[in-house]
Amino acid sequence: RRGIDLPPVRGREGPLRSGGGGTMRELQLLVASAGIFFSFSFFAVLQEDVYKKEYDGQQFTMTLFAILIERTLNAVIALVALMALGGSKLKLPVLDMCNSGVTQSLAMAASNEALRYVSYPTQVLGKSSKMVPVMAGGVLVGGKKYTSMEYLQVFVITLGVCVFNFGKPRKGKGTDSNYGLLFIAISLTLDAVTGGLQDRAKVSCAKANPSVPKAKPSTYESMFYTNLAGAGVGLFLSVVTGQFHEGIAFCIRSPAVLEAIVAYSLCSAVGNTFVYYTITHFNPLVLTTVTTTRKIFSTVYSVLRSPQNSLNGMQWSGCLLVFVGLFFDIARKYAGSQPKANAAKKAS
């Protein structure tokens, strides 16, 4: 008797349902986006409190020490997950993965340092333009190619960021300093290198495992090596700058700051699980689009939560342009997925 033909089940990159299409892949991105959104929204609130609040009459300024704690917790959680769930058993481009962890941690250090000198909305909107350096890094370092529509979307978002920054009031105490803006620029440059290295790691993994279709490091492998290297950077820089000993002394005097750092580090670890899932199954530009969207909502929440972070009409216009660019990207991806879905249905 003739057997029943079952529809093929495709692996990590493809859909997992009959007839192909992109529905499961879109669902995966939706779940990852929601995980990033909620985890890092809590992370942003807790991180802002660490650097803006006073603890026993003093502000916490040891950004490198905080990065050491965060990256170490992320690496430990990733290692535990690898021991429990197992890895990909592939030949991994460990050097490329660690290099991306180094540049990522340096970008985070610059971003955290900027938060001491600029308001949270300024830091977030400034970092929202990271799509430009990430795209540039993808082209120059990772060998990626982008469509004209993707370039247009990035232009609109960057324009929104520029409008936001030009709309800032220039007055008295509490305004953003040029020192803080310089650190944002340094962070964006490092983001460009990080995005390219993340793309290169995926290409290197595929070349190192030619017999495995679409070979990629697993989510927790990427998370472990990246954060292990980041923890090394945090340890080295915090020791060299004296922040390691100062941070320990501050936490002994004010244990509440250590609790706050550990809390936002745990939020970071949960969020990074979804971040590395997105990098593994999609690409750094998709991840940047997701995180940028989250940051815009965090900006609005920060304004509502803290009156001193209020925005004027021109700055709200800049936010609107960023929203338009992001929703334009969503519409573009949805429109592009329809021909593929229709073709898959006809093929089935």
204: left (phi over 0), alpha (psi -120 to 50) or beta: alpha
Q: 13 or 96: which carries more pLDDT confidence? A: 96
Tell me how far apart the alpha carbons of residues 222 and 205 are, in angstroms, rounded to a whole number.
Answer: 11
Q: Check: CB of residue 312 under 8 Å from CB of residue 58.
A: no
pLDDT tens for residues 152-207?
A: 877 887 787 777 766 666 544 455 667 777 888 888 888 878 878 888 888 899 89
Tokens of 314: 């021109």
Tokens of 204: 């290197």
Listed in sequence order, the DSSP H helices in 19-62 are 23-52
Angle at 119 between CA 250 and CA 57, to 5 degrees: 30
Residue 334 confidence (pLDDT):
60
Q: Which of 92-106, 182-196, 207-221, 267-281 has the highest mean pLDDT?
A: 92-106
pLDDT band at 2 (very low <50, low <70, confident <90, very high): very low
Query: Which one, of 142, 194, 149, lies nearest residue 329 by Cα?
Result: 149
Tell me how far apart the alpha carbons of residues 62 and 65 are, in angstroms, rounded to a whole number.
Answer: 5
